[in-house]
Amino acid sequence: PSALVWFRRDLRADDHAALYHALKAARKVWCVFFLDRDILDPLPQADRRVEFIVDSLHALDAQLRALNPEARLIVRHAHAGTALPRLADELHVQAVYASHDDEPAALARDHAVRGALAEMGIALHTAKDHVIFERNEVLTATGKPYSVFTPYKNAWLKKLEPFYLKAYPVARYADALAPLPDDVPAHLPTLSGIGFEPTNLHELALGAGSEGAQALLADFLPRIDRYDVARDFPSVKGPSYLSMHLRFGTVSIRQLAREAHAHRSKGAQTWLSELVWRDFYHQVLHHHPHVAESAFKPAYDAIKWERGKHADTLFAAWCHGRTGYPLVDAAMAQINQTGYMHNRLRMVVASFLVKDLGIDWRRGEAYFAEKLNDFDLAANNGGWQWAASTGCDAQPYFRIFNPITQSEKFDPEGKFIRRYLPELAGLSNKAIHAPWLARPLELAEARIVIGQDYPAPIVDHDEARAKTLARYAVVKAGD
């Protein structure tokens, strides 16, 4: 029998469940990736994620050839939903193998593809790859999905036997990787060949493919024991920066969880906890797909967000990092320039948009979806609904981050702010968190005129706080 492995967000050839199952079951195995026009066509012409994917496809092709010199990755710039069944037919395979993708659009696509393949007598086998536990694997004693993180995490840890962390030994069966038939060319893509322009991905030294991921992991592991104390400070190299690799599957979640589990330190445990949050939000989306459009807690859909021109002006100021609150503006500069934002800052800017500006969390979620290199529907939605207090095990609505206190606490010397807002670099460590409150002499010495060189704050935090408490009062009854 022969089989086709359909790669999607699992761009590596090591420790890969679907590839392993295909190689074990079939004598001839081919591998394909679709640069899916349904996803790519609406994107702007320059998108770091597309460039990262193209780089990672070259890396995956090289990885397959290293496993077996005969192997080639087939790449097609096409509508995957129709092109995949056509290719499977051309290759006369009996089965297609792929990893689960539980995002609603991917589930719909896979459902249609499964039907089209079935009509041709071809099976679609899918396997878990993206997370450690998914779907119904971690449930409460009464068989319900968890909606509170800590008991979920305890159950997750209890279930974590070595079996779940074991790597799939792909190399053992690599003989089954087959050369392409003459009439099926590989077509490895270039960025311009699919109509995209280069971004600053290479300048940012965001290495793609397995190699890029392993380099980041090697850099992180010596720091993992200090993760718990370093992770909250955006100017410190605390986190792993692996999120983009996890998004595109250029690293195996099992390898990361294994590493975290093996280091017994508090830092490593805290990091493992973050990987559990990732699984948690993944299963929230699976069990409650309505979160992609509306609040996890329906009562919160009654909240009236700011609308109209004034709201649009506030939203634009947030997007462009012109709110007058330096930590918020520096964080927005980070996402706009690099596609990454530190986790602490994601919480700060999300809270600011929703609870200081009164803007619907879905607008912020959509902005992040467009900009984040690591954009992941489940994690992004979970993060936004957490900050907006509308979500599963979210921050209580009356807990409202003070953007100045957050700045003083997590960027005490203004190092992060200075990096992204050089116009404020001349201010003291004390004044940099709220420049409009600085003494006139200090502002003059730093050559800053508020409202000219740097914006005046677009809202007063105390007033905004009171407004937010009133806005959320509508949900108190249903909470």
Give min distance, CB of 370 to ligand FAD, in A. 11
Interface residue with ligand FAD, options 38, 225, 274, 442 (CB under 6 A): 274
379 binds ligand FAD (CB under 6 A): yes
Q: Which long-range contacts (CB under 8 A, 24 or more apart) does 47-51 make?
A: 47/196, 47/199, 48/199, 48/200, 48/201, 48/204, 48/206, 48/339, 48/373, 49/244, 49/248, 49/339, 49/373, 49/375, 50/191, 50/194, 50/196, 51/191, 51/196, 51/198, 51/199, 51/201
274 annotated ligand binder: yes
Q: How far is the CB of 257 from ligand FAD (least distance, A)?
A: 10
CB 120 within 8 A of CB 146: no
Rounded CA separation 6/18 (Å):
9
On whether 197 is known to bind a ligand per the annotation, the reply is: no
305 is catalytic: yes
**Selection from 131, 124, 119 nearest residue 107 by Cα:** 124
Residue 191 is classified by DSSP as T
Q: Is 242 in the site for ligand FAD (CB under 6 A)?
A: yes
Distance of closest approach, residue 78 Cβ to ligand FAD, in angstroms: 26
Question: Annotated binding residue at 196?
Answer: no
> For the residues of 16-34, what is the DSSP string, one character each?
-HHHHHHHHH-SEEEEEEE
In the residue annotation, 30 being an active-site residue is answered as no
Q: Within 69-148, where are the H helices?
A: 80-90, 104-119
Pick from 378, 360, 357: nearest CA to 369 = 378
Q: What are phi and psi of 116, to 5 degrees?
A: -65, -40
Q: Which two tokens stand for residue 338?
A: 């690099």
The answer to whether residues 326 and 433 touch, using CB atoms and an 8 Å cutoff, is: yes
Verify binding: residue 131, ligand FAD, rule CB under 6 A: no
Q: How far is the CB of 14 from ligand FAD (least distance, A)?
A: 19
Task: Out of 211, 277, 402, 423, pick the active-site residue.
Answer: 277
Please report whether residue 374 would count as binding ligand FAD according to CB under 6 A. Answer: yes
Q: Is 334 in the site for ligand FAD (CB under 6 A)?
A: no
Please report whether residue 231 would count as binding ligand FAD according to CB under 6 A: yes
CB of 243 to ligand FAD, least distance (A): 3
Which tokens sit at 290?
């309505």
Catalytic residue among 336, 343, 402, 429: 343
Binding to ligand FAD by CB under 6 A, coded x per residue (else -) over 158-197, reads ----------------------------------------
Of 84 and 332, nearer to ligand FAD (C-beta) is 332
272 binds ligand FAD (CB under 6 A): no
Q: Is 161 a catalytic residue?
A: no
Residue 430, token pair as written in the block = 């004390």
Please give the structure tokens belonging to residue 110: 């896979």
Nearest CB to ligand FAD, comparing residues 228 and 423: 228
Pattern 380-409, binding to ligand FAD, x per CB under 6 A? x-xxx--x----------------------
Q: Does 351 bind ligand FAD (CB under 6 A)?
A: no
Q: What minimum distance in Å lies between the beta carbon of 475 and ligand FAD?
A: 20
Q: How far is the CB of 13 from ligand FAD (least distance, A)?
A: 21
**Cα–Cα nearest to 58, from 178, 190, 170:** 190
Number of residue whose CB is nearest ligand FAD: 383
Active site residue 436: no
**Which residue, chain included where needed, has tokens 């295909």?**
22
Task: Specify whether the CB–CB gap between 209 and 58 falls below 8 A.
Answer: yes
Kind of pairing between the strands at 28-36 and 73-78: parallel
Encode burial over 299-336: b for 16+ CB neighbours within 10 A, e otherwise: ebeebeeeeeeebeebbebbbebebbbbbbbbbbbbbe
300 binds ligand FAD (CB under 6 A): no
Should residue 243 be labelled a site residue for ligand FAD when binding is judged by CB under 6 A?
yes
Distance CA 208, CA 468 (A): 42
Closest to 68 (Cα-Cα) out of 172, 150, 142, 177 = 177
Q: How many residues bind ligand FAD (CB under 6 A)?
A: 28
Is 384 annotated as catalytic?
yes
Is residue 207 near ligand FAD by the rule CB under 6 A? no
CB of 17 to ligand FAD, least distance (A): 18
Q: Which listed residue (137, 211, 305, 429) is catalytic? A: 305
Identity of the residue, 22 or 246, whose beta carbon is nearer to ligand FAD in the bound complex: 246
Interface residues with ligand FAD (CB under 6 A) are: 231, 239-243, 246-247, 274-275, 277-278, 281, 343, 346-347, 350, 368, 372, 374-376, 379-380, 382-384, 387
- Tell me which residues are annotated as active site: 274, 277, 305, 343, 361, 384
Residues in the annotated binding site: 227, 271, 274-281, 374-376
Residues in the annotated binding site for FAD: 227, 271, 274-281, 374-376
